[in-house]
């Protein structure tokens, strides 16, 4: 795929190594316990990247499948899983339209990656693909980007630095409103890498569409294969009450 960032799996993983996969695995299990209507033995990570969460689920004994468009990400996931002695299957596919060879019991898409489904038509196609991949009663968890158009600070760039050994990655992430009528934003992701003194820069700039909660409800209704369980806080399985960067959408296959 045409991405500078997602072709740099190792640096990407360092940049996002603040992810607490154990905590996220606990959260998945909380949702499963409370809302799944099927026993969960297998999981699907959509737009999995290097898939810290999937590796955590594999550690916990779930049959684990990671799907991504980037071969570099999947190769990295394969080699890390091998090192960690974990059984993880990988599938190179497009989240907009894909087909698994067998169904799973729980599916999720993390870190706002649902934004790579670029319009409502594709969102309906995406839901069809997820529905065809899930057993009845299984959950689909979407960690959505919660855009607060009313708060200008939301659109300021965020910077952070993460290190592993002698590799330092400075990441910049920014969302800039592009066309509020079309709900589009420009997403900028930049990694400035210092790898043992070798300096490199990678940047992705994409025009993407935000999906709002009320719109999502209608699309889920139109698709008709899921029921909406609710919108939840990101750190707990509690229903969302106010606007916040937390935004987990939970769907259940009918």
Q: How far is the C-alpha of 208 from the C-alpha of 179, rounded, in Å?
A: 10
Percent helix, strand, coil in the chain, to 5, is 30, 35, 35
Q: Which of 40, 57, 69, 130 binds ligand SAM (CB under 6 A)?
A: 69
DSSP assigned state of 226 = E
Q: What minimum distance in Å lies between the beta carbon of 194 and ligand SAM?
A: 22
CA-derived radius of gyration, the chain = 18
Q: For residue 22, what is the DSSP state? A: H
Residues 1-30 contacting ligand SAM, CB under 6 A: 6, 16
**Cβ of 8: how many Cβ atoms within 10 Å?**
21
Give the interface segment with ligand SAM, choosing from 29-37, 92-100, 145-153, 158-166 (CB under 6 A).
92-100
What's the rounded Cα separation, in Å, for the pair 202 and 170? 11
- Least distance between ligand SAM and beta carbon 108 (Å): 9
Stretch that binds ligand SAM, among 55-63, 88-96, 165-173, 203-211 (CB under 6 A): 88-96
* Per rule CB under 6 A, count of chain residues that contact ligand SAM: 16
Span 33-52, contacts to ligand SAM by CB under 6 A: 47-49
Compute CA 26 distance to the chain's CA centroid, rounded to the nearest angstrom: 16
Indicate whether 162 belongs to the interface with ligand SAM (CB under 6 A): no
Task: Pick the closest to residue 171 from 143, 194, 150 (CA basis).
Answer: 194
Residue 207 vs 227, nearer CB to ligand SAM: 207
Residues that bind ligand SAM (CB under 6 A): 6, 16, 47-49, 68-70, 73, 94-96, 110-111, 113, 116
């Amino acid at each position: 795929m045409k991405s500078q960032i997602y072709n740099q799996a190792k640096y990407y993983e360092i940049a996002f190594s603040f992810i607490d996969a154990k905590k996220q695995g606990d959260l998945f299990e909380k949702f499963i316990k409370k809302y799944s209507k099927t026993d969960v033995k297998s999981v699907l990570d959509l737009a999995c990247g290097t898939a810290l969460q999937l590796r955590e689920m594999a550690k916990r004994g779930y049959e684990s499948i990671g799907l991504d468009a980037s071969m570099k990400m999947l190769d990295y996931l394969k080699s890390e899983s091998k090192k960690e002695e974990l059984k993880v299957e990988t599938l190179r596919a497009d989240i907009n339209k894909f087909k698994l060879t067998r169904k799973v019991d729980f599916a999720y898409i993390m870190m706002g990656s649902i934004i790579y489904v670029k319009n409502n038509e594709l969102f309906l196609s995406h839901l069809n693909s997820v529905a065809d991949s899930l057993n009845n009663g299984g959950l689909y968890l979407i960690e959505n980007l919660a855009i607060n158009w009313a708060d200008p600070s939301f659109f300021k760039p965020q910077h952070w630095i993460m290190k592993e050994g002698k590799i330092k990655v400075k990441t910049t992430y920014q969302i800039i409103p592009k066309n509020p009528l079309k709900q589009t934003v420009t997403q900028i992701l930049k990694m400035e890498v210092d790898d043992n003194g070798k300096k490199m820069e990678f940047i992705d700039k994409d025009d993407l569409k935000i999906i709002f909660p009320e719109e999502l409800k209608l699309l889920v209704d139109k698709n008709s294969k899921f029921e909406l369980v609710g919108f939840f806080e990101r750190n707990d399985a509690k229903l969302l009450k106010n606007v916040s960067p937390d935004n987990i959408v939970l769907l259940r296959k009918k």
